[in-house]
Amino acid sequence: MYYGFWEQLAKPMFVLAPMADVTDSVFRQIIVKYGRPDMVFTEFVPCDGLCSKGRDNLLPDLQFVEDERPIVAQIFGAKPENFYETGKLIAQLGFDGVDINMGCPEKSVVKQGAGSGLIRTPSLAQEVIRATQEGTAAGGKRLPVSVKTRLGFSSDEFKSWVPALLSMKLPVLTIHARTRKEMSKVPARWEQVKEIVELAKGTGTYIIGNGDVTDLTDAQRRVEETQVDGVMLGRAIFGNPWLFRRDGYIPSLSEVLSVLVEHTNLYESTWGDTKPFDLMKKHYKAYISGFPGAHELRIQLMGCKNAHGVTQVVEAFLARSQQALNIERAE
């Protein structure tokens, strides 16, 4: 069993979930600056694509800066030979670890036999893990290989599925507490995560739980209830880069909008024309809610075409808000 950096992290671990079209390097840089989690993952990247002529188009998804460490590249696919080659590449790129996605429920992914599709083929899943482990070593840097998965495909299968994974001597196994069939339509079933913690006892594998966690207080409660070694938080991070701060810090509105502008400028300066500016706009709804004038401000920002326009709109909003506050105080 090779733990790599995982062994050095304080337990329980609180980590940022990998999210497609969200957790790119720019997003992660903002998060680690304002509320650093114990570690971060990339968006998931297809092994098949990385082993094709389209590799160069996917490499930006594996871009990172030193301040993001420890950082793990998450990959998906169903062909062991491509996991081997991708493992080599990830080692050469200097990542701290590799995580294999065996939980994505999307039809296009499952159709390939990848993501949660691998739950239906445990022997292939084991081959994929073994190939990745061997690939990283061949790339010149042995890396810890972890897995993120679900309770099962159509029903709870963890009593047979999880032992098949644990037999591969994984340093870490993350469990999304739903089946593939359930998607995110039902509450996460943490009582099943507790059972998996019991299954993993004596194997040396750390178990991370995932699903419906709202903040660090909630995460700590999950640890106490299930004895997991860590908790992964995903959707709760939207609009709240301070989520992982241990002091319960609550930012002012001007701070939130300042970070929105910083995030936008970093997005534009990093990606330029390589990624559409409209992808950045998905964050605005999360940043801008719950205060007077939020709806109107959001509409204005959605019409912006670049970071300069966003900066102007936000500065004008803050100036109007300050003016209104001064008038109120004068009265």
Burial of 190 (0-12, 13-18, 19+ CB in 10 A): buried
Catalytic residue among 47, 51, 104, 304: 104
**Contact call for residues 40 and 68 (beta carbons, < 8 A):** yes
- In angstroms, the CA 242 to CA 248 distance is 8
Q: Where are the alpha helices (DSSP H) in 15-95?
A: 25-35, 47-50, 55-58, 80-93
The β-bridge partners of 142 are: none
Residue 51 is a catalytic residue: no
Please give the structure tokens belonging to residue 110: 């499952």
**CB proximity list for 183: less than 8 A, separation 6 or greater:** 105
Question: CA Rg, the chain, in Å?
Answer: 21
Q: What is the amino acid identity at position 282?
A: K
Residue bearing tokens 């099943």: 192
Please give the structure tokens belonging to residue 215: 């903040």
Q: Where are the beta strands (DSSP E) in the chain?
A: 13-16, 40-46, 71-76, 97-102, 145-150, 172-176, 206-210, 230-233
- In angstroms, the CA 160 to CA 240 distance is 38
Please give the structure tokens belonging to residue 158: 């963890």
Phi then psi dihedrals of residue 102, to 5 deg:
-125, 35
Sign of the C-alpha dihedral, residues 12, 14, 17, 18?
Answer: negative
Q: Which residues are marked as active site?
A: 104
